[in-house]
Each structure stands twice: as structure tokens, then as C-alpha cells.
Structure 1
Amino acid sequence: MEQALKSSVWRTVGLSPVNCGRWWWGVRYCSTWEQRPPPFAPPAAGGDEEGPPRGRNGSGQLPPPALPEVSRAVADSCASHEGLAPQRQPPPWHKSYERGARQAAPANREPWSSREGGFSKARKRLERKPLSIERTKGSEILFGIAPCSLALSQSRRDLFRLFLKESSGSRRLVTSEFVLQATARGVPVHHVKRRELDALCRGQVHQGVCLEATPLRFKSLEEAEKPDLGDEESPNRQLIWLVLEQIQDPMNLGALLRSAYFLGVDRVVTSQRNSCPLTPTVSKASSGAMEVFDVYSTDDLRSFLKAKTAEGWEVVGTVSKPEDVENVPVISCLAFRWNKPVIIVIGSEGDGLSLETQLLCHRMLAIPPGRALHPGIESLNVSVATGILLHSICSQKLRHGD
């Protein structure tokens, strides 16, 4: 009987048995549901005559047979969204039911899961917050292996505390060396987490080491003129001083000090006005050269250059564009020859040497480019250009046997 009913349905809707498995389930479900009486309908008291009209127009006709009703259900299912079975409310445990419930929730009501995630993120932020380390008044934080190690080995700063990152493995040797240096100087050692070191040096590259110490200051030119320079003042020695006019970038100043120390410059003098001070960033950029190399300063650079000229020194300026210089001869750094004490004057990053300083120079040096330059990239970084000039000049001193 059931097989005959299936065949009738297939013929009615024009479907094949291969594609009707799930359709037939919907047909049975719908037909069974429609044939059930209403759950709370009162029974008819007087037979068929007193019950509700059985026909569509109340004429008392019998209802249509089951097969057409089943066919209507199948047709309705064909017009449904899925095309397989009539749409129905999913059970409460189904994912689509939960999705519908979330969509129907009030807009101003935040789900508990998101609130719980917010609490978790806030708790993690509190856990990541570094511990506050109070610094000694008037101190600064050196950072990096080379600056901290050289500051510990010298006696130019007052040292307060050494901070080392909690580490293991290959860094234990570096840590133990710092502990030995600090112990020899009587400096307390604190092992802290990386985030504490990041907070101490404000996110700079500390390499796992920070040192609290007093700042370094420029030395005055009066100290540089004292007769305790040893054989530097001997008449047979070629002296070279580097003068910096308004160098403002600490990275450039550190790189200049590193090159000057490496290439054998005897003194570095900076102008006090509009110049970068000796900060921990300068020490890190100099790879610690600032910790062992004296840096001098003057508040009257022009008077200083005039005085050195009167003493027999040659003052040589630098320029990136020879056509911008007037009344001063410009030569290539490769053609420069020197046989007496010389001062190399370097200008600021943006403007170069001021006009007043240029007029105090005997000659101007330029670096010849290796190709035709594109407009906008016709000059070098000030620290790179200074390194090239110093190497060109200091190599002559080496060839003379000094």
C-alpha cells in the first residue's frame, strides 16, 4: 500500500524515485501532521450534521482524498526555501535556533561571552603592565651591552644600579660578566623581566642590559687647552680636531663620535647652541665610544676658530654642493694635503655650515660622487660624509708614520 502511494506521488509531481527519498519524508511528515485533529478541538456533539462544514463552501461535501492533499504538500515543499521539505522551526538545541535567538536579542544587550572576553583582556593587560621602578633623582638610564660595559669599566659616571634581563642559555656568560663588573664597582644588580627593561629605556634596544648612572657633560675648551695633553702638543705630531656646528640628531652625533674615535681624531668640539646633548641614545649610537672619548663644547664657535687660526691651525670646512660656496676655494677631499694641525668643521644636517663659519675657513672640502646624481639625492648623511672625509685625511697621517 505504501509503495503504491509512493508511485502515485511520483507520477503526480513528475519526479523519479532516485530524487524523492528526502521528499517522501517531507510528504509523510506533512500528511501525518495535517491528518491529526487539533490538540484542543472539542468533539462534535451531534454527529456530522452538527459539526463544522466539511466542504470548502459549507455544502457538506466530503473532503478531498488523501492523494491530492499529499500532492499539495509536495508542491508546497517545492516552493519552500530549501526545495526539499517544508520549513519548520528548528529544535532548541540546533545551531540555527541559537543563531536566530542571538539575532532576535535586543541590540543593547551584550552577550555574556563577549563581556567575559573583555574581562579576560583587561586582566591580561594588567598582568603585562610593567612594575614601576623609581629612578634616583638626577640619574639617567644607559642601555645596550657596549655602553653599559664601558661605563662600568670607566670612572666618569656615578653608578647606582644595574638591571639585567632574567635569562638562561647563551646569555648567561654575558650576564655573569656584567655581574662581575658591577660587583667590582659596588653597584647593586637587579634581575628583572624584559618588560621592566623596556619601560626603563622607553622601548629602546637595550639588549637585556640597563644601567642607572649620572649623565655625562661636555667638557669646556679651557680643559682642552690645558698643557696635560702629553705628546699631542709635540711639534712633530699632526693634530686633527673635529668641530660640529649644530648637530641635532642624537643618532648622527653618536655615529660621528664613533667614527672620530675609530679614525684617530684628537678632539671633538661642538657648539652649545642648537646642538644635541650627550644622552644615552648618543652613547648607544656611538657603541659606547662616548664613554671613553672626551667631547668638548663652546658657546662661541667663531671666536674659537679665529683663535686657532691665529695659533697656526688650518680651518677646513665641508660642503655638499660646491656651487653654493662663495669667496672660499673648494677642492676634492682626495686632493687635500696637510702638514700642520687641522680643524675639520661639519655643518648641521639640514643647512650645513652657516655663512659666517664658511668665511672663517681657509678651504672647503667636497666628496666627488661616483655617478650623475638624481635631483633630491645629491648629498650624503652627515655622519657618513664625515666618516669619508676623516678617512681620507687621517690615512695621510698614517702614511707619514704617526
Structure 2
Amino acid sequence: MYILKLGSRFSSQKSYDYLYGINPVMSALYANKRQFTQLYVNQTQQNDYINPRISNILNRAQSLKLDVQMIPKNKLERYCSNDHHQNVILKCSKLNYCNQLSDESNFVLLDSVQDPQNFGAILRVCFFLGINTVIVEKKGQCPLSPTVSKTSAGALELMNIFETDNLATFVKQRKHEFQVIGSGFESNSVQN
């Protein structure tokens, strides 16, 4: 993202994201929750050997009529401040929070998770456990960023992330609708 590192607090000021890595890009293309501008692929992927997963990404991009540019690795690294791009980067709109909760039986509430790698790891575990909705508070929460998507192994793209003004109020208003199980840092803080 220009000169800024992905996952930087300032990256949220841009109107688009550069998703990087096979799983985040593949998940984004299949979830279709974003608007896609361009797919960048390392030009070595068009020669004799092509990673089958990148081939799947290229096929999906073609079905979406997405512009694909085969570029050298050093140009890929201009869009991604690290070498974890796995030869593929997707320029796309920012991911929006979902604006309605469905009748999910299970979801997770997160309070003030500020580190994008922790947020992504939590989303990855939630997705693995079959939880596809996570509720966060607007204030103090890490933004939905390419770093979160990468760390979540693409789970962010497939999940519903709902944002509320105040988690405590949210829980109080809805506690009659579902069972609330909470935990915290103190040994006696687990409550049912």
C-alpha cells in the first residue's frame, strides 16, 4: 500500500486493500464480499510449473472477469511489505462489517483485540470450530486488514464480523435470547 506497511494503523485510511497469500486471496474471490480491482501474480507462475492453488485462483479470477497482471516478484513486494505473499496479491475494496446478525446458534464476542495477528489467529480458530460470526466493539478493536486476513488463513473473508457500539450493552440487551458464557484474565472470571 504505497509506502505504508500492510497492517499499519494508517492502512485503514486507504479505500482499498492489497490481500496477500493464497488462502486469503482464494477465500476473498469465492466469498465475493469485496469489489475486486486487480489480481497480481508472480510471472514465474506462467512458465513450466504453476502452483495448482494459484491455477485455481487464476481460474476463479477468469470466471469473475478480473484483470490479471503477471509481474516480477520485486513488483509484488512493492504491494506487500513482506515476502509472505506466496506469489499472489489481490487489490480489492475494504471488507465491510456485516450490518445484521442472522439467527446463528453460536458466535464469539471479542473485546478490544488490538493486535492483527491475535485477531487473525482467533478468527482462524473460530472458523475451524464452526463459528462463522464474530462480534466486536467499534472502539479499541483492530481493523479488518490484510494482515488479519493472512493470519486467519483467509477465514476473515468467509466469516461475518459484526460491529457494535458497546459490547456490554449488546450482551445485556440480548442475554434473554441466548446463553452467555464469558471469560477473562482472572482465575475466577469464567461465568455462565
Letter aligned with residue 318 of structure 1 = S
- How big is each residue's C-alpha offset from its partner over 1:357-379, in whole Å with a ceiling of 9 and x where there is no partner? xxxxxx16xxxxxxxxxxxxxxx
Q: Displacement of 1:203 after TM fit?
A: 1.8
Q: 1:154 to 1:317 in 2, by over 3 A?
A: closer
Q: Displacement of 1:172 after TM fit?
A: 4.9
- How big is each residue's C-alpha offset from its partner over 1:20-62, in whole Å with a ceiling of 9 and x where there is no partner? xxxxxxxxxxxxxxxxxxxxxxxxxxxxxxxxxxxxxxxxxxx
Equivalent position of 2:59 in the other structure = 180
Q: Displacement of 1:144 after TM fit?
A: 0.2
The structure 1 residue matched to 2:179, chosen from 280, 301, 314, is 314
Equivalent position of 1:219 in the other structure = 98
Equivalent position of 1:258 in the other structure = 124
Measure the CA separation in 2 of the matches of 1:280 and 1:271. 19
Measure the CA separation in 1 of the matches of 2:61 and 2:51. 15
Give the unaligned 5+ runs of structure 1: 1-136, 233-238, 331-362, 365-402
Of structures 1 and 2, the one with the larger relative CO (CA 8 A, separation 6+) is: 2
Equivalent position of 1:121 in the other structure = none
Measure the CA separation in 1 of the matches of 2:53 and 2:106. 37
Equivalent position of 2:28 in the other structure = 151
Q: 1:204 to 1:297 in 2, by over 3 A?
A: farther
Matches within 5 A, 1:133-148: 138-148=15-25
Q: 1:271 to 1:183 in 2, by over 3 A?
A: same
Letter aligned with residue 160 of structure 1 = T
Equivalent position of 1:11 in the other structure = none
Task: Report the RMSD for the aligned CA atoms in angstroms.
Answer: 2.0
Letter aligned with residue 151 of structure 1 = A
Q: 1:307 to 1:163 in 2, by over 3 A?
A: same
Higher strand share: 2
Equivalent position of 2:3 in the other structure = none
Measure the CA separation in 1 of the matches of 2:179 and 2:76. 47
The structure 2 residue matched to 1:208, chosen from 87, 103, 109, is 87
Q: Displacement of 1:180 after TM fit?
A: 1.7
Question: Share of identical aligned residues, percent?
Answer: 30
Measure the CA separation in 2 of the matches of 1:175 and 1:290. 20
Q: Contact 2:41 / 2:68 at 8 angstroms: preserved in 1?
A: yes
Letter aligned with residue 145 of structure 1 = I
Q: Displacement of 1:282 after TM fit?
A: 0.6
Letter aligned with residue 217 of structure 1 = N
Q: Contact 2:132 / 2:158 at 8 angstroms: preserved in 1?
A: no
Give the unaligned 5+ runs of structure 2: 1-13
Matches within 5 A, 1:106-125: none
Equivalent position of 1:297 in the other structure = 163
Equivalent position of 1:55 in the other structure = none
Secondary structure (helix, strand or coil) at the match of 1:243 reads strand
Higher helix share: 1
Q: Displacement of 1:151 after TM fit?
A: 1.3
Number of aligned residues = 177
Matches within 5 A, 1:52-201: 138-167=15-44, 168-201=47-80
Letter aligned with residue 245 of structure 1 = D
Equivalent position of 1:249 in the other structure = 115
Q: 1:172 to 1:264 in 2, by over 3 A?
A: closer
Measure the CA separation in 1 of the matches of 2:127 and 2:52. 28
Q: Displacement of 1:266 after TM fit?
A: 4.9
Q: 1:174 to 1:260 in 2, by over 3 A?
A: closer
| TM-score of the superposed pair, with normalisation by structure 1 | 0.42
Measure the CA separation in 2 of the matches of 1:266 and 1:209. 25
The structure 2 residue matched to 1:280, chosen from 117, 124, 146, is 146
Q: 1:268 to 1:173 in 2, by over 3 A?
A: closer
Secondary structure (helix, strand or coil) at the match of 1:247 reads coil
